[in-house]
Amino acid sequence: EADIYQTPRYLVIGTGKKITLECSQTMGHDKMYWYQQDPGMELHLIHYSYGVNSTEKGDLSSESTVSRIRTEHFPLTLESARPSHTSQYLCASSEWAGNTEAFFGQGTRLTVV
Amino acid sequence: AQTVTQSQPEMSVQEAETVTLSCTYDTSESDYYLFWYKQPPSRQMILVIRQEAYKQQNATENRFSVNFQKAAKSFSLKISDSQLGDAAMYFCACLRAQKLVFGQGTRLTINP
């Protein structure tokens, strides 16, 4: 079983609130990813990191921000949540080598009311 | 831009039969990696099979195999002897320059 954890699993929050979705892995992986999964199940890459102090935006524009201060931790923050942010957020990590698999967390289902 | 396209939103197959899921990708790089992932209902995404672009031989993992056509940028997944536990969303993915990008997914239903 993969050692990558996301908290919370479910979150219902009001519009305008600041939220942080947590993602931690204990495998020492350099690469970490955040995906937004829409109701149709399509996965959109919103942020990725290939090491401490490196973060990059993905293909889907997102109002969220990320940080990578420690190898094992890759939190995602929304400064002011809106109903359009309602979605499933998946975190993943992998080793540096190209052909290694990515391990996924169980996801955070966010609902903004 | 790097894109991955799965043109079959849904597929169904009879138990014990064979099914093929399609995937095409677009990248200008010569160094990349391809994957198929499976997401069972309410469960975590897991790797099914992987293929290095520089390898001509198609990858095989038990009942799962791929048909990798590099010139056509095609990467299909064949599931043989389908089982009820194979029911899931299947995602094709391409890794290039540290970015792991997924296709839209195909929902596979297994009919008993």
Ordered DSSP codes for A26-95: SS--SEEEEEEE-TT--EEEEEEEEETTEEEE-SS--S-EE--SBTTB--EEESS--GGG-EEEEEEEE-
Structure tokens at A3: 């050692």
For chain A, give the percent of residues with pLDDT over 70: 97
Are the CB atoms for B74 and B67 separated by under 8 Å?
yes
Q: How far apart are CA B77 and CA B42, in angstroms?
A: 22
Are the CB atoms for A102 and B39 separated by under 8 Å?
no
Q: Which residues of B touch A90 (CB under 8 A)?
A: 45
Question: CB-CB: which of B46, B99, B105 is closest to A42?
Answer: B105
Helix (H, G, I), strand (E, B) or coil at B59: coil
Q: Is the pLDDT of residue B98 over 90?
A: no
Q: What is the mean pLDDT of residues A95-109?
A: 88
Kindly state whether B8 is in contact with chain A, defined as any CB-CB distance less than 8 angstroms: no
Are the CB atoms for B88 and B11 separated by under 8 Å?
no
Tokens 């002897």 -> residue: B81
Residue from A64, A70, A29, A67 nearest A45 by CA: A64
Q: How far apart are CA A28 and CA A31, in angstroms?
A: 9
Q: How far is CA A91 from CA A75, B8, B21, B73, B94, in A?
A: 9, 25, 25, 27, 17
pLDDT the model gives residue A2: 64
Question: CB-CB: which of A48, A90, A101 is closest to B99?
Answer: A48
Q: How far apart are CA B89 and CA B102, in angstroms?
A: 12
Q: Distance of alpha carbon A59 from its chain centroid, rounded?
A: 14
Query: How much is the mean pLDDT over chain B?
Result: 93
**Which of A9, A33, A41 to probe the B interface (max B CBs under 10 A)?**
A41
pLDDT the model gives residue B1: 61
pLDDT digits (tens, 9 = 90+) for A52-83: 999 999 888 889 999 999 999 999 999 999 99
Q: How far apart are CA A45 and CA B5, in angstroms?
A: 15
Q: What is the mean pLDDT of residues A3-21?
A: 96
